[in-house]
Amino acid sequence: MSSRPYKTRAMNIDWSFLLSALGLAFILEGIPYFLFSERMPRILISIIEKGPKQMRILGLIAMIFGLLLISFGQSLVDL
């Protein structure tokens, strides 16, 4: 009897897609600093001053928006 009751599969990672997505994330993160470089210190201070509850809500909204955006993008691929 085998000590492993299940077969393991190697995970195939599309490195090109992963690196493209990571690069896009860096581009999107950099846009506000490039466009609003004079305002960003004040914006960051106002974000820091928010309480944990507001930060969690903001994070949840960002995650939901990201999921909706991914879902929308996938629906375009399926057309």
Per-residue pLDDT tens for 14-71?
A: 888 889 989 999 999 999 999 999 999 998 899 889 889 999 999 999 999 989 988 8
Q: Is residue 35 part of a domain?
A: yes
6 lies in a domain? no
Sign of the torsion formed by the C-alpha atoms of 53, 55, 59 and 62:
positive
Tally helices (H) and strands (E) across the chain: 3, 0
Residue 23 lies in a domain: yes
Domain count, the chain: 1
Residue 7 in domain: no
- Owning domain of residue 62: 15-77
User: Within a domain: residue 30?
Assistant: yes
Q: Tell me, yes or no, whether 5 lies in a domain.
A: no
pLDDT tens sequence across 59-69: 999 999 989 98
- Looking at this protein, which amino acid is placed at residue 16? S
- 4 domain residue, yes or no: no
* 25 found inside a domain: yes
Please give the model's pTM, rounded to 2 decimal places. Answer: 0.61
Written as one letter, the residue type at 25 is A
